[in-house]
């Protein structure tokens, strides 16, 4: 049942406009609560898989970050900072957070993601089958890309049954924001490429003809890869394209380096890397002229560049305590200037700056340290594992992709993206902590 609930969430969370609305966010919180209950009942019969100490520390740090969110919503302000100058602008007196209810909600969302991570990790470790998880994640994304492509070629007028009110010229599938769908498609592409990599690893491939023969037997896989890549290009997302390119490059590099010392396998990887590169160049050339135009244009006129200095000013006013998780929109009103007076910014378009502004610098560093620890566990697992290496690589690649994308956007604040990202990392960590033969064996 736990496995069913995991894929139920991952399959349906992109459907209702990427689950960006509160009603759907709370729906998935309830589903994760049920997952946690099932996991607790199972734990009464069987022990939880062991975790390396560094991973336990990372989970503890995320837990501490969540506790800080509750503290922001409940702790009297006088204990930490003087916000008298801001109270006239809407600061709720008596607590750290500008909007305690929003801070509590976001803290619970973080808690739900942490519990979801644990559920996916434990399930994948117990079943010891990361290949099936990775394949299914890729298929889910490919199905949404298929829907988005079908809508795009038939006029691109609707999102589900709603008339499209944003980004009418770009592919967004069931998402409203094209940048967020680009991030989602990129994560799916990493999963599909990983599955393709493992298919080639288990077959005799010495030339391009062998590669074609293998993929004719699993025809849906190259079709899905091309479909997701086309869909990514048709989003016209400059940040999405660049960040996904970084993620794919990381994945290919790890896979090429992962089989050093195996001459035949190195030849397979070289063939696959050349094929993927040629295909990507071809797709880029024919899929979206608009994306090429956007990549050739500088960022000097991007409104986000006017926002970042103002966010830095806000961080300087509340560096330690922050304004409260989930309160960017309310807090930023204080710092608006005439240059952006008519522009709507409910998010910081830089998750790092927004996190430092709302959570405070110390809490933001704690969360980033937790992610760094998880990345270190993945790196160590990749270095010392031969059989699990291909399933560890997508976790590292996903971290690179979203770390880059978060510099200029807020895709991780979309539940459909964040839950998929957490799932990919959890599967990779399950593979990284599985005992198997060393790489040099």
* Angstrom distance (rounded) from CA 156 to CA 100: 39
* Upper half-sphere CA count for residue 276 (Cβ side, 13 Å): 24
Angle at 394 between CA 390 and CA 399, to 5 degrees: 145
Q: Is the pLDDT of residue 110 over 50?
A: yes
Three-state SS at 297: coil
Tokens coding 212:
């074609």
Q: Is the pLDDT of residue 50 over 50?
A: yes
* Angstrom distance (rounded) from CA 130 to CA 220: 20
DSSP lists the bridge partners of residue 210 as none
pLDDT of the residue at 79: 38
User: 386 or 161: which carries more pLDDT confidence?
Assistant: 161
Three-state SS at 168: coil
Encode pLDDT of 292-308 as tens digits.
555 555 554 567 788 89
Q: What percent of the chain has pLDDT over 90?
A: 62
* Angstrom distance (rounded) from CA 389 to CA 381: 7
CB 125 within 8 A of CB 49: yes
* Angstrom distance (rounded) from CA 134 to CA 196: 11
Residues in CB range of 330: below 8 A, 6 or more apart: 90, 98, 99, 102, 323
Encode pLDDT of 179-201 as tens digits.
999 999 999 999 999 998 888 77
pLDDT of the residue at 2: 93
Three-state SS at 204: coil
CB 427 within 8 A of CB 134: yes
* Angstrom distance (rounded) from CA 110 to CA 113: 5
* Closest residue by Cα to residue 39 from 117, 135, 107: 117
* Closest residue by Cα to residue 400 from 426, 415, 421: 421
pLDDT of the residue at 208: 66
DSSP annotation string for 76-108:
-GGGT---HHHHTTTPPTTSS-SSHHHHHHHHH
pLDDT of the residue at 274: 53
Tokens coding 254:
């790890």
Which of 112-116, 125-129, 222-226, 307-311 has the weakest average pLDDT?
A: 125-129
Encode pLDDT of 228-275 as tens digits.
999 999 999 999 999 999 999 999 989 888 755 555 555 555 555 555
* Angstrom distance (rounded) from CA 246 to CA 242: 6
Q: Is the pLDDT of residue 316 over 90?
A: yes
Q: Is the pLDDT of residue 407 over 60?
A: yes
* Upper half-sphere CA count for residue 437 (Cβ side, 13 Å): 5
Tokens coding 223:
């079709």
pLDDT of the residue at 166: 86
Angle between helices 220-234 and 178-201 (to 10 degrees): 160
Q: Is the pLDDT of residue 28 over 70?
A: yes
In angstroms, the Cα distances linking 383 to 89, 371, 436 are 52, 18, 12
CB 358 within 8 A of CB 322: yes
Residue 89 phi/psi, 5° resolution? -95, 10
* Angstrom distance (rounded) from CA 333 to CA 351: 18
CB 436 within 8 A of CB 403: no
User: 359 or 338: which carries more pLDDT confidence?
Assistant: 359
Total residues found in the chain within this entry: 441
């Amino acid at each position: 049942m736990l496995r069913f609930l995991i894929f139920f969430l991952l399959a349906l969370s992109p459907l209702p406009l990427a689950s960006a609305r509160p009603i759907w966010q709370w729906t998935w919180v309830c589903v994760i609560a049920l997952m946690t209950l099932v996991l607790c009942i199972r734990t009464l019969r069987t022990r939880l898989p062991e975790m390396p100490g560094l991973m336990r520390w990372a989970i503890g740090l995320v837990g501490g970050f969540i506790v800080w969110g509750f503290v922001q919503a409940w702790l009297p302000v006088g204990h930490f900072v003087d916000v008298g100058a801001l109270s006239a602008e809407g600061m709720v007196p008596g607590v750290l957070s500008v909007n305690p209810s929003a801070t509590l909600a976001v803290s619970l969302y973080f808690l739900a993601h942490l519990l979801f991570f644990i559920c996916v990790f434990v399930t994948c470790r117990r079943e010891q089958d990361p290949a099936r998880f990775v394949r299914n994640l890729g298929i889910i994304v490919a199905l949404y890309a298929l829907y988005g492509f079908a809508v795009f070629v038939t006029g691109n007028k609707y999102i589900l049954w709603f008339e499209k009110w944003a980004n009418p010229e770009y592919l967004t599938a069931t998402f409203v924001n094209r940048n967020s769908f680009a991030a989602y498609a990129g994560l799916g592409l990493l999963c599909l490429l990983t599955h393709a990599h493992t298919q080639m690893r288990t077959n005799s491939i010495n030339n391009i003809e062998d590669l074609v023969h293998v993929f004719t037997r699993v025809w849906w896989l190259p079709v899905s890869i091309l479909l997701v890549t086309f869909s990514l290009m048709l989003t016209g997302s400059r940040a999405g394209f660049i960040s996904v390119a970084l993620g794919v490059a990381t994945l290919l590099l790890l896979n090429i380096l992962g089989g050093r010392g195996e001459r035949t396998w190195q030849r397979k990887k070289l063939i696959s890397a050349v094929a993927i590169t040629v295909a990507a160049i071809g797709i880029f050339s024919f899929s979206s002229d608009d994306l090429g135009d956007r990549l050739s244009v500088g960022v000097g006129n991007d409104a986000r560049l006017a926002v970042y200095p103002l966010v830095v000013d806000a961080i300087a006013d509340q560096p330690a305590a922050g304004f409260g998780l989930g309160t960017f929109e309310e807090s930023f009103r204080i710092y608006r200037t005439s240059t952006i007076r008519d522009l709507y910014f409910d998010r910081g378009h830089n998750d790092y700056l927004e996190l430092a502004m709302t959570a405070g610098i110390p809490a933001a560093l704690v969360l980033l340290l937790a992610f760094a620890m998880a990345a270190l566990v993945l790196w160590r697992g990749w270095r010392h594992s031969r059989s699990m290496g291909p399933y560890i690589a997508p976790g590292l690649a996903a971290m690179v992709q979203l770390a880059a994308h978060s510099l200029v956007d807020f895709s991780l604040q979309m539940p459909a993206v964040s839950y998929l990202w957490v799932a990919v990392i959890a599967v990779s960590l399950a593979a990284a902590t599985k005992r198997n033969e060393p790489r040099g064996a």
